Structure 1
Amino acid sequence: MSACPAGGEWKTISKKKGIKKGRENIRGMPCPEVEFVSVAEGKRIQQRIQETVEELRNSEFWTDCDETIQGVVNMYHTATLAFPSISFPSGEAPESLEYKKDNKDHCQTTLDVVCYGIGNFSSSVTSRYQLALLFLLLETLQIPRDGCLLFDPLFTEWEKRFLKDCGMVVLKDNEEGKRPINKPTLFYMIHCGKALYNNLLWKNWSSEKLAQTILIGNSFKGMEERLPARVLQRDYTYINHILALTEETAFPCSSRYTDVFNDTAIHQFPTKKLIAKPSEFWEGAAEPTYQECEDLEIIQKGIKCFSVT
Structure 2
Amino acid sequence: MSAHPTEGGWKTVSKKKGVKKRRDNVKGGKGMPHEVEFLSVAEGERIQQKIKEAVEELRSSEFWTDCLETIRRAVNKYCTIPLASPSGPFLGSGAAESLEYKKDGVDHCGSTLDSVCYGIGNFSSSVSSRYQLALLFLMLETLQIPRACCLLFDPLFTDWEKRFLRECGMVVIKENEEGKRSIDRPTLFYMIHCGKALYNNLLWRNWSPQELAQTILIGNSFKGIEERLPARVLQRDYTYISRILAVTEEAAFPSSGRYMDVFNDTSIHQFPRKKLDAKPTEFWDSPAEPRYQQCEDLEIIQKGMECFSVS
**Shared fold by TM > 0.5?**
yes
Give the match for residue 80 of structure 1.
none
Give the match for residue 149 of structure 1.
151
CA contact (8 A) 2:24 2:34 kept: no
Q: 1:95 aligns with which of 89, 98, 106?
A: 89
Q: Distance in 1 between matches of 2:25 and 2:53?
A: 34
CA contact (8 A) 1:18 1:37 kept: no
Cα drift, residue 94 of structure 1 = 2.1
Give the match for residue 46 of structure 1.
48
Query: What RMSD in Å do the two structures reach over aligned CA positions?
Result: 2.5
Cα drift, residue 69 of structure 1 = 0.3
Cα drift, residue 96 of structure 1 = 1.6
Cα drift, residue 230 of structure 1 = 0.4
Q: 1:235 aligns with which of 234, 237, 243?
A: 237
Give the match for residue 105 of structure 2.
none
SS of equivalent residue, structure 1 residue 132: helix
CA contact (8 A) 2:97 2:146 kept: no
CA contact (8 A) 1:249 1:267 kept: yes
Give the match for residue 284 of structure 2.
282
Q: Distance in 2 between matches of 1:274 and 1:6?
A: 45
Q: TM-score, normalising length from structure 1?
A: 0.90
- The percent of aligned pairs where both chains have the same amino acid is 72
Give the match for residue 79 of structure 1.
none
Taking a change above 3 Å as real, the CA distance of residues 108 and 172 of structure 1, as seen in their structure-2 partners, is closer
CA displacement 1:8-54 (0-9 Å, x = unmatched): 7421223233423131799x983343212001110001001101110
Taking a change above 3 Å as real, the CA distance of residues 250 and 282 of structure 1, as seen in their structure-2 partners, is same
Q: Distance in 1 between matches of 2:5 and 2:19?
A: 24
Q: Distance in 2 between matches of 1:58 and 1:194?
A: 32
Give the match for residue 3 of structure 1.
3
CA contact (8 A) 2:184 2:211 kept: yes
CA displacement 1:87-114 (0-9 Å, x = unmatched): 335x6x4212233456999x99420000
CA contact (8 A) 2:147 2:170 kept: yes
Cα drift, residue 284 of structure 1 = 1.4
Give the match for residue 104 of structure 2.
none
Give the match for residue 23 of structure 1.
23
Cα drift, residue 85 of structure 1 = 3.7
SS of equivalent residue, structure 2 residue 250: strand
Q: Which runs of 5+ in 2 are unaligned?
A: 102-108
Taking a change above 3 Å as real, the CA distance of residues 266 and 180 of structure 1, as seen in their structure-2 partners, is same
Taking a change above 3 Å as real, the CA distance of residues 24 and 38 of structure 1, as seen in their structure-2 partners, is closer
Taking a change above 3 Å as real, the CA distance of residues 172 and 307 of structure 1, as seen in their structure-2 partners, is closer
Q: Which moves more between the two structures, 256-265 or 299-308?
A: 299-308
Give the match for residue 86 of structure 1.
82
Taking a change above 3 Å as real, the CA distance of residues 94 and 261 of structure 1, as seen in their structure-2 partners, is same
SS of equivalent residue, structure 1 residue 20: strand
- Asked if 1:273 is matched to 2:288, the reply is no
The number of residue pairs the alignment matches comes to 299
Q: Distance in 2 between matches of 1:22 and 1:126?
A: 19
Taking a change above 3 Å as real, the CA distance of residues 203 and 5 of structure 1, as seen in their structure-2 partners, is farther
- Asked if 1:189 is matched to 2:191, the reply is yes
Q: 1:202 aligns with which of 181, 192, 204?
A: 204
Q: Distance in 1 between matches of 2:281 and 2:112?
A: 29
CA contact (8 A) 1:61 1:254 kept: yes
Taking a change above 3 Å as real, the CA distance of residues 270 and 33 of structure 1, as seen in their structure-2 partners, is same
Q: Distance in 2 between matches of 1:148 and 1:197?
A: 18
Taking a change above 3 Å as real, the CA distance of residues 281 and 258 of structure 1, as seen in their structure-2 partners, is same
Task: Give the partner amino acid of 1:68.
Answer: T
CA displacement 1:168-215 (0-9 Å, x = unmatched): 000000000000101110000000000000000000000000000000
- Asked if 1:59 is matched to 2:55, the reply is no
Q: Distance in 2 between matches of 1:144 and 1:110?
A: 10
CA contact (8 A) 2:200 2:241 kept: yes
Q: TM-score, normalising length from structure 2?
A: 0.90
Q: Distance in 2 between matches of 1:140 and 1:207?
A: 28
Taking a change above 3 Å as real, the CA distance of residues 52 and 296 of structure 1, as seen in their structure-2 partners, is same
Q: Distance in 1 between matches of 2:7 and 2:267?
A: 31
Q: Which runs of 5+ in 1 are unaligned?
A: 77-82
Cα drift, residue 6 of structure 1 = 7.9
Q: Distance in 2 between matches of 1:289 and 1:13?
A: 42
